[in-house]
Structure 1
């Protein structure tokens, strides 16, 4: 690697200050026939191809095409792949069919002096930009395309029966022009658009707006213009029924469907930055920025990106004249082009930056010692700057965060009045109270004095300590694969008496493995009322396996292993000894005269269970990138281990959600922030827990989980099912409709679970805080609901109240006056509930 490239690689984190977008050019990576992936190797300029349909194993090697030639770029279509080779003052255009035997069917389409700067292959035709004649030329296509169209164009894109390009004449900058039998409708769709870049696939073309980065797709049925924005133009790729792009500023991929009334958005590799993307059929591939390897994903499977066995590729096409690059060239890329055998002098930057872009991969020649020393100097400079910024941040936090006495606003923290007469003048007396001491006359009075400062400090530290609170408790152990025979033996042949419940795609059995471990085994049903189509069962199995294999948190049920044999799909989990929260809140009628469970008899344990579950959900929302939306939060999916620690389970319906803004609209600061994006898809989940916004409008966000958890909180407080009948033969009632009016009216006692003991004063304060939080969680619009981080903070405060109740009342004494002042203490709550939080 050259000294320049070494320096740039070490300084890569500083290279995303974008000023101007460069024009997209032909690629060194292509997809053809829906399964063949070809790329130009960085070490010798040879094109290598791999057929993913016949080479399913990632260990399979790619085959070289015309190894004696050095290629500059490749492009793929439905029926063939083409590559441009330049040398000895002439260009050679070669094409071959997709598949494993490309070299045997190689055909030369053109050989001559013309130099081509762009290439686009459609279903049965090839288009290239002739830099000498300054126009677009076509080959094949059954005579339905012109031989030459003069003019200045960029961003060639070809599909089924059309080729489009962006015209760059001064009289009509960024105007889209199209040719071919299917061109008219596509060109019309871009008539009023100012487009910086184009991509095409099948019968569609998509363009990126020059000003906003928004995407407009023509030839779409139903979806029309897509609500994707802030994308790089060079990353756009279009397949048969989907499109993908690169998001600013991190170059990660976002994909969406191009059919149906609303697009389905997904993120195939949320933590990976790409140089560019290409697509064909249902397949999309990207060149990874870090090491210039290739990842591909398919819309017909689970959208997970997998590495393709191609060699390290050139990160772009080598150009003969650096003046053709609007944003200059990668420093050191001239040497890389020379190593690859290309006559070009460098590779164009795709974006204009204040600092040079990330360097190309290492050259086969060893780096000079001088280059290494410069690299270490750059590393030291970057490290020193980072350390200085970190030190300043720490000082700022202590001076303006922990040392400040400003009140921190919590979007779901009630601003409750204190005890009677407990105004400002009584602050010193109130300050004498402690968490474990006696309480004021009103058990619902908001914490004040030293108590207030203690909780204020807790809230200030809440965000800083969230990662410690919600992060993984240990590293994820290797997930094991079991045979069906092993799991059948563990459950006595899936005996009926081993059945302990049901999940998103099957029945759950208790079992014991050969090593003595107790486990819960979920088996996908193949018959009976729970049977589904194999594809649906497979989807749920894949979803849960994918999420739990990479997630590990003390409040998420752990995955032990799995089994995949023929049509059998089984998942093996840690066994949760105490079952589901639902079973304790709603025990079966034939239980008998057994003593009540700890859940029914303890408000403290109920709140602890809610706190544990909220931490698990917060982990999914805040520390998975993009966030994970569970989609089926309910009391039967909150399981309890032997120590009554709660864990969230059943990820069969879970999805990766859209990226969130740095904070939600209901943030602690009270400042209105950018609203989170949503996924548009058909509603799924459990009736009674489903977000009305998701159920009615098909808008899915992390706030959909917040609604479900709000229902669980109300269910835990009232002891009522999510949907229940108040009387025999009566109409079904939602627990939200049942409890919410009483909480707002200050009559919480009317709806509390009568099977539980009457709360002590501190417990009454904790219960009210939980109820207040729950009511905010079940608001109709997601933007009005709090974030999980705020819910966790409130539940921590509520649990702290319960922890202090022993000191104030002997631990278990009944306080009959615990609710006497509930109406007055909730009057402020009622007023706040009538409007937006933070208004």
Structure 2
């Protein structure tokens, strides 16, 4: 039967093992925490910001503060010589930055995540969440083998990395910057720890320190400056260590103050600096130490190297914003075995909780335990008392339950992910086309047939596949090829927060590339049936083939693409002001009535921009291109409110002239589909003209392409039923009868009678009704439309101009 003393030792060992997984302990360059020091050619101090929507990194160097990836959250960071690295929230990605803050991704894996990180003089190492505790290491940005080294945590210093074995055997495992164990100094250090059962280990310049199973700090290695002369201390007195080139600092658990030993090389030792404040965590540079203060979560630094270089007065702290005291755990308080910070919700901006480190100070033994190993500089104390044993047992039970729950929660979140999310289709409340009657679409009065997902998706024909540009255009040199990891990183792993819409074959996310470019990333939907997968692949190939050779200021530009296994993604330039549909019909914009589109000049300009983009497709692309899905949600607005046509997933190469017709199954969106195309299954360039005509009617009336009879005039029904009405059927009779003013969008100031603006609005209205003629031959060409809209825009700028709206090819013919 286990003796009482042995049982307490086991409990203490287990309790400290739990603590070591929560409490941050730092080395020369740093095991991961929320603050990091990078030294070398320049000193850089970084922290993970608190109280912000994203827990991004903010850095101070050369007296300047700058943000790093302001839209991406990180769990922890660590720094070394001329480099600092960060583990992205969730542990799937490792990114590192050089002294110029140029980023490089070293690791990405959604299944095997990173749990610990250390950056040394010439190597970067991270431990994975596998049961074997595999460690991955990089040198000069390239991964090198670690010969299947299995450790629970990793620490790196000058040319050396160490860890505690997974199997909890005595001693430590160390390896050099090339993972070799044959280095004389490395072997000697390992030998000096062989007789100890270590809970963790930390590497400095030429010395190594760690906490043994009885809670005492043990240091071995170089001692030319007293860096391993540990001061007298009690068991479990120190909760964190920071090792520099030739000094060591310890963070006390009870009052969170710091004591340092060793140092030198200047006029004073680091131990001569007395910092009378409390800290949450500490990290070390080569000859100085920095800490995160408990009072206001600011960062201050001290030490001979800090003062000698005149970097910044420590008593005032660095001008960084508040820094998180720990990572924001998205799984919530159940994952925190020892409670959460009082201001956790505010610090994480509502996106998680910060776990309190498990505090063993209250369980400190009142009498000395057995003497610690020699060389540790520790004061011996007696064996723990019976109440202490009961307290430790209770802590171990509660702590283990909390830790287990936290691990299960994290694994569940990582395993489930987000797959097969519902598509957000920018569409009117529209009826589904269910009729096979080729005389045209039938609008049912039965509200049960009304569907929000009424966009028709059809597989492209074999003829189109044969006529598409070959691989040379599909993989054009000017388009970048991204890895899936790059795009997952840019979108915060395709988070719902970054979802901005849907396209012809998938969901669109906002992203930020490593070089700082903002982009829109369209990801093909997964988990679809075979036909849907074929449609997705066809739409992806279509957009890539077309956009790789189309370049016009009124077409959304393709930045690049990604094809990995079943993943198909397209990367576009980001359109800051979103889709025209949202400005006209989104409930928030309607209620606030604050859109910059609420002027007739702006609306005419947007119609003109879109028309010019479509004209380019019809007249200047070789061969011509028919878009087939012109609608307000496919007209996007950039930062300067310039309209651009997007989404070429349904596009086809068109005939050389209108006399040439190509049979193909109808595709498009209800309300915008050319009725002639739908009825005859013959597509021409005039099909795009019809769609643009509907868009112009939307701009004029503010109503959706299909709206309900109880619509209040803003394009939004009250949700109590109503009969679906086609905007074309609603608007044409009123415009033809000369009563345009009755149906104009009331959010825009009415054009004054007999003024040029009134004529401009009428000109766009008459252009629109000609575009939606039932027969394609009666519709104008895109060149005619561009000319009329240019005239309308000129009228808005010329209060004295007067141009007849009945002139030209699109004049109304009275019957």
TM over 0.5, shorter chain: no
Q: Could you state the TM-score of these two structures normalised by the residue count of structure 2? A: 0.40
Higher Rg: 2
Q: Could you state the TM-score of these two structures normalised by the residue count of structure 1? A: 0.39
The structure showing larger relative contact order (alpha-carbon pairs under 8 Å, at least 6 residues apart) is 1
